[in-house]
Structure 1
Amino acid sequence: MMPAADPSPCGERLMTDSPHVEAVVVVDDGTPIAYHRWEPDPGVEAHPVPVVLQHGFGAHGLLDWVAPGTVAALTAAGRSVVAVDARGHGRSGKSADPARYGEQRMALDLRAVVAALDVPAVDLVGYSMGAIIALLTAAREPLVRRLVVGGVGAGVVEVGGVDTRALGNEALAEALLAEDPRDLPPGIAEMRAFAETAGADLPSLAAHARSVHRDGVDLAAIKAPTLVLAGADDPLAVRPQVLAEAIPGASLRVVPGTHDVVGTSAEFRSALVDFLRD
């Protein structure tokens, strides 16, 4: 492990009093997968189960989880926290080859990070692309004790992954690689601008966009208590009750907002932290 640069390796201010460290796991295909770790705040009773966070498309662990205050809220509640940078994102390895991407591949990476933590259980949180990764992981990984998935809805059941009916993956890939983004449709232009602002590697994002998971998730295999958490006006999380009903015993929470609730909604953050409390 090595200390993170100050204020952080990706430019965000770390909004928590807990020290931050960065580590890397090299997975079976040789890709380095970076993750960031925080311990519980000093003076707070520590919970034995760490919380593992998986970010959304175009973001990275620090952007989705540190900047909005989610990590700080969890460490204040006594949790150790691990935020994983998916391949092609953040500090993890990059490639322009679509064969190296897809949420199924990213779920293998996530399980490698969980194995490296050497803990008896984890609570797992995923948002948007990260929610698909988390669902695929929870369906196969017995160490997942509790699960929170946000930014997804009926598309998981009806399309087999992120809802490409709302955002076509090929159109997104082409937009990410366009030499001149000024003529892009507004919604896709915003996603490209977000990725550029986040310092993302656009060829890597385009490669993943062409490899998004469409093969469904064995939702019935998920045994962990699960919270489906969605913005009321999120076009990528329409009818989230369809997803909640497909996961045994899952609960649903809808909060005001669109697909940006992971970074803008205190109600989203509070619902996440509260669900993970014992």
Structure 2
Amino acid sequence: MSEVRKDYIEGFGGTRLAVHTMGTGRPLLLLHGLFSSAQVNWIKYGNAQILAGAGFEVIMPDLRAHGESEAPHDPALYPEDVLVEDLKRLVAELGLADYDLGGFSLGSRTSVRGVLAGLAPRKLVLGGMGLSGLAGWARRSAHFVDAIDRFGTIERGDKAFVAQAFMKTMKVDRIAARLLLGSVDDTPPEAIAGVPMPTLCVCGADDQDNGSAPDLAEALPDGHYAEVPGNHMSSVTFKEMGRAMAEFLLA
């Protein structure tokens, strides 16, 4: 297995962000999902290793308020699209000009908004994301804010129980996470036309959490769809995710 290297960069407002890197070769930036981390989303279940083995330098930041990155409690450090600002700073800090970009769930939202804000990766990968998921963030965010506000009291069978359990497992800083949720914007369907590069929508067969991935692929100017096993929580645990990404990026 390739060694995982760790470094830190300064994001917006001087927030210290951990960046995990595996492999050598063509740069591939991968952003994890909400309440997760680079370790859990990409490294733990072997998908980063698959991509590194395919000839990529896989660069995986922990988003602010996640993983080994700082989780400030100052609301001023969570302006609109702060994750996009962090992403732009990472691209600039690493001096990336010719690279690929991908994400899962919140990481997919951030990747799309990064492209709309001027980033120009050669290819884009959107994991666990559908068309309505990009536009319907307010509803999705409200679900997670509710889980944070009722944390510790949510019983099994409640729709927020899985989110509570994952926050417990990941030891999420709920104050910082709540602030971060308020910084993420919707991306309306008409904006999708501004994503010109070849884009893979890869999604679990049982994952409808963010709407239809095939519909998103159809709406994109150069969209492609790949189905992998699992639901929104489990699809990243299957190596089919990494294999589908590698096949698309190498084509």
* CA distance in structure 2 between the aligned counterparts of 1:122 and 1:153, rounded to whole angstroms: 24
> Where does residue 223 of structure 2 map in the other structure?
250
Give 2:250's aligned amino acid: R
Give 2:150's aligned amino acid: A
Aligned runs of 1:139-218 on 2, under 5 Å?
139-156=116-133, 158-159=135-136, 162=137, 165=139, 167=140, 169-178=141-150, 180-183=152-155, 186-216=158-188, 218=191
* CA distance in structure 2 between the aligned counterparts of 1:127 and 1:103, rounded to whole angstroms: 20
| Equivalent of residue 94 in structure 2, options 90, 93, 117 | 117
* CA distance in structure 2 between the aligned counterparts of 1:185 and 1:228, rounded to whole angstroms: 30
Question: Which structure has the highest helix share of the two?
Answer: 2
Structure 1 residues not aligned, in runs of 5+: 1-15, 41-46
| Contact 2:51–2:243 under 8 Å retained in 1 | no
| Contact 1:154–1:243 under 8 Å retained in 2 | yes
> Where does residue 226 of structure 1 map in the other structure?
199
Identity %: 28
**Closer/same/farther in 2, CA of residues 270 and 175 from structure 1, 3 Å limit:** same
1:194 shift after superposition: 1.0
Q: How big is each residue's C-alpha offset from its partner over 1:256-278, in whole Å with a ceiling of 9 and x where there is no partner?
A: 32102442222222111111114
Give 2:113's aligned amino acid: L
* CA distance in structure 2 between the aligned counterparts of 1:88 and 1:251, rounded to whole angstroms: 31
> Where does residue 19 of structure 2 map in the other structure?
35
Q: How big is each residue's C-alpha offset from its partner over 1:156-196, in whole Å with a ceiling of 9 and x where there is no partner?
A: 4543xx4x54x4x2342232243533437533111121122
Matched residues, number: 250
| Equivalent of residue 112 in structure 2, options 135, 151, 156 | 135
Give 1:32's aligned amino acid: R
2:245 is the counterpart of 1:268: no
Q: How big is each residue's C-alpha offset from its partner over 1:35-61, in whole Å with a ceiling of 9 and x where there is no partner?
A: 111223xxxxxx3x2111100000011
Kindly report the root-mean-square deviation, in angstroms, between the aligned alpha carbons of the 2 structures: 2.3
* CA distance in structure 2 between the aligned counterparts of 1:101 and 1:235, rounded to whole angstroms: 28
Aligned runs of 1:63-82 on 2, under 5 Å?
63-82=40-59
* CA distance in structure 1 between the aligned counterparts of 2:179 and 2:237, rounded to whole angstroms: 28
